[in-house]
Structure 1
Amino acid sequence: MAQQHHDLTDSAAGPAAPPVTGEALAGYLRGQATEFLRALRLHRETGGGPSGSGGGTADAVDAARALRRSARRISASLHTFRPLLDPGWSEEIRPELAWLSGTLALEHACESRLDRLLLALHRLSGATTVPTQTGSNTGTSAGTAVSATAATTAATTATTTTTTTQRTAPRPTPDRGNLTVGAAKAGALLDRQLTLARTRAHSTALQALGSSRFHAVADKVAVLASEVPLAPHAATTDPRPLAAAAEERLTDAVAALPLVTAGHPYNAEALVHGLSPDPAPHPQDAPWHQVRLLLRLHRYALEVLHGDDAPLGVRLLSAGQALDRHRDASEAAAAAAHAARTPRIAPATAYALGVLHADQRHEVEAARYAFQRSWQKQTIGTGTS
């Protein structure tokens, strides 16, 4: 489908922008490196875990989130503006920052996925009350409170579907009495599997933050906070063409999406592979995940050029939110399908997980529809990230 190109930044409005050089990139990288080091200091002061007071735990969660945020932005900027940087240094640190960001994101992803699936089960079972959502800090810090003993217990009982283990984190859960038997057992199975995955992700993150690999990354970021290894020509080179190239890659990727299909609220083709035994990710999802990454790169490029005043339109923000929902629903559906492959589960449990999988795949289609609607809007407003 031919996709009309839209100026996401509404650059035609207002006076002409002042000249921009590689120094804008250097200033942005120094700022993000400083944020990284500040978050690292806070993380160390709080012990990096739940051993301190409740406030300390919340601070540790915030610190880990800030570490992930800065690492992601530095890595993305090194990718978009790599011609302006020393190539050897850039290619050495960029994958390490991506590794760190991905590792720190795993625990929060497991927590959010479990909350999403339990709430969906509650809704699908026709329950009359909805459990209170856990706050972002509370929910994540609860995940860090899982002990090694609890992890061992969860691993031992992972294949048992007829009993519900005691939760190792103080999370509000749906009233099991309001759920059907199959849904209750499906919820218990998902609870065990994703709590175990969250525990492992927490252990992996702690090991990563204590590793020599992380200390090497932190040392490089510390140097970056004061000295950015720009290429010799960067001081006189305009970075805006590189940012425009990032936007063009996004536009091309969106043009390749099946937006005509996504324009319908219900896409029957989405269920073609629904019963496939292949445990690989859904074949339709990969291009949408790629667009989400490219959209993020475009947003960060705008931050490099404009700082806190980056002209992020409503259209751009709403499209990003739709793609975030798409990613969350896609991964939740995959988790439900994985649980359904557990050996020797009861037919009622398998049925409930199948309904849950279909529900999340429909959520995927709803997110695609929302993206299609927001992306094709002609009117662009302004907003903040």
Structure 2
Amino acid sequence: MAQRHHDLTDPAAQTATGPATTGDALAGYLRAQATEFLRALRLHRETGGATSYGSSNGSSGGSSNSAEEHRDDAARALRRSARRISGSLHTFRPLLDHEWSEGIRPELAWLSGTLALEHAYGARLERLLLALNRLSGSTPVPPQAQATGPGRTASGPNRAAAHPAAPDRGNLTVGAAKAGALLDRQLTLARTRAHSTALQALGSSRFHAVADKVAVLASEVPLTSAAPTTDLRPLAAAAEERLVDAVVALPLVTAGNPYNAEALIHGLSPDPAPHPQDAPWHQVRLLLRLHRYACEVVHGRATPLDVRLLTAGQALDRHRDASEAASAAAQAARTPRIAPATAYALGVLHADQRHEVEAARYTFQRAWQKQPIGAP
């Protein structure tokens, strides 16, 4: 299970690949990401993002949609570069000025999280409405979801294997429309509030202070005096070690089953707190991201495409999306005075998304246990 990339942990491999990568490579990576941040910020402002982030300007036609798409692309690029800068500052913090690094890192995390909320609420609503349509029979099941073998589909465990009891289609159809309308109201309201929060954030002095620091970073990286001659690989290997240890602590034996009844029982609890089994998986997702960024710093443009890590990361993304969608369905089901049919539809939807969580864990388990690239 403790699988590692040999070019990060094997001294012989380091010798074979040439001189050790030092703090100068870190400085180059951070400057490049800071430049990407500033480019995305400029594009965001040019497309009207400073005053109408994530929304149309009220006009109709393709030009409005195109402008909105450009704003969304710019916002994603801002988040992407902010995450990479923040993650690299975390992994390689011994090589950077401590006060400066600890000052900007949480601000970048704040910015990335704030900009992500509006898109997250929109994607969550779309996911839940599509699931409601599928469960109530409003749309046919895609061919890819057909079973291709015993207990399997083309993309994971068979839905029949993961769903031991079919819902009452009649009652579900009655409640699905009202459940969808309720989710639409709640998540659209949340998205609107996130939109307003993002607008306020992008116009705040706090954001301008972050942008100013990133602008300085694009030309000057505050490395320690020893950083230019310090090998980056031990710090990158430590990031990988933290990931491996976190994966070892996961209940992969349970995740090896396509249906985890214990997890479903916990998921149906009326407790509004986050699902108790989800937090370790979310932490692994974060550590996997930090490991990927560390590999980018060490390898630069020559970073190899690791299909194993890519597949594992995609599974953890689906895990996060399904987990948050299930929580949204459960929250909607707690709405006072909703009709029994609506509550029933939301309960079925919640269970469906918890099953999707289990399917994502199963996919991650299978991807992670594959032989890593470069392993003997």
Partner of 2:118: 107
Partner of 1:81: 92
Letter in 1 for 2:43: L
Partner of 2:2: 4
Q: CA 1:55 to 1:275, structure 2 compared with 1: closer, same or farther past 3 Å?
A: closer
Unaligned runs of 5+ in 2: 58-62, 143-171
Deviations 1:308-329 (A, max 9, x none): 3212311111000000000000
Q: CA 1:9 to 1:268, structure 2 compared with 1: closer, same or farther past 3 Å?
A: farther
Task: Say which SS state the counterpart of residue 266 (structure 2) adopts.
Answer: coil
Deviations 1:192-228 (A, max 9, x none): 1001100100110010000000000000000000000
Task: Say which SS state the counterpart of residue 304 (structure 2) adopts.
Answer: coil
Task: Say which SS state the counterpart of residue 53 (structure 1) adopts.
Answer: helix
Partner of 1:127: 138
CA drift of 1:64 comes to: 0.7
Native 8 Å contact 1:315 1:381 kept in 2: no
Instruction: State the alpha-carbon separation in 2 of the partners of residues 47 and 289 from structure 1.
Output: 34
Unaligned runs of 5+ in 1: 132-178
Q: CA 1:63 to 1:128, structure 2 compared with 1: closer, same or farther past 3 Å?
A: closer
Task: Say which SS state the counterpart of residue 18 (structure 1) adopts.
Answer: coil
Partner of 2:167: none
Instruction: State the alpha-carbon separation in 2 of the partners of residues 47 and 285 from structure 1.
Output: 38
The equivalences for 1:207-226 within 5 A come to 207-226=200-219
CA drift of 1:380 comes to: 3.2
Instruction: State the alpha-carbon separation in 1 of the partners of residues 232 and 362 from structure 2.
Output: 34
Deviations 1:38-59 (A, max 9, x none): 1111111111033373322221
The equivalences for 1:274-313 within 5 A come to 274-313=267-306
Task: Say which SS state the counterpart of residue 268 (structure 2) adopts.
Answer: coil
Same amino acid, percent of matched pairs: 81
57, 61, 78: which one pairs with 1:67? 78
Instruction: State the alpha-carbon separation in 1 of the partners of residues 70 and 139 from structure 2.
Output: 35
Deviations 1:208-264 (A, max 9, x none): 000000000000000000000001100110111000000000000000001111001
Partner of 1:40: 41
Task: Say which SS state the counterpart of residue 280 (structure 1) adopts.
Answer: coil
Aligned: 1:21 with 2:32: no
Native 8 Å contact 2:264 2:355 kept in 1: no
Aligned: 1:202 with 2:195: yes
CA drift of 1:7 comes to: 2.7
Q: If each structure's helix is expressed as a fraction of its own residues, which one has the higher value?
A: 2
CA drift of 1:274 comes to: 2.9
50, 53, 58: which one pairs with 2:69? 58
TM-score normalised by length of structure 2: 0.85
Instruction: State the alpha-carbon separation in 1 of the partners of residues 88 and 17 from structure 2.
Output: 24
Native 8 Å contact 1:106 1:198 kept in 2: yes
The equivalences for 1:313-332 within 5 A come to 313-332=306-325
TM-score normalised by length of structure 1: 0.83
Instruction: State the alpha-carbon separation in 2 of the partners of residues 128 and 325 from structure 1.
Output: 21
Deviates more, 1:79-88 or 1:58-67: 58-67
Aligned: 1:273 with 2:257: no
Aligned length: 333
Task: Say which SS state the counterpart of residue 272 (structure 1) adopts.
Answer: helix
Q: CA 1:203 to 1:234, structure 2 compared with 1: closer, same or farther past 3 Å?
A: same
Native 8 Å contact 2:322 2:357 kept in 1: yes
Partner of 1:134: none
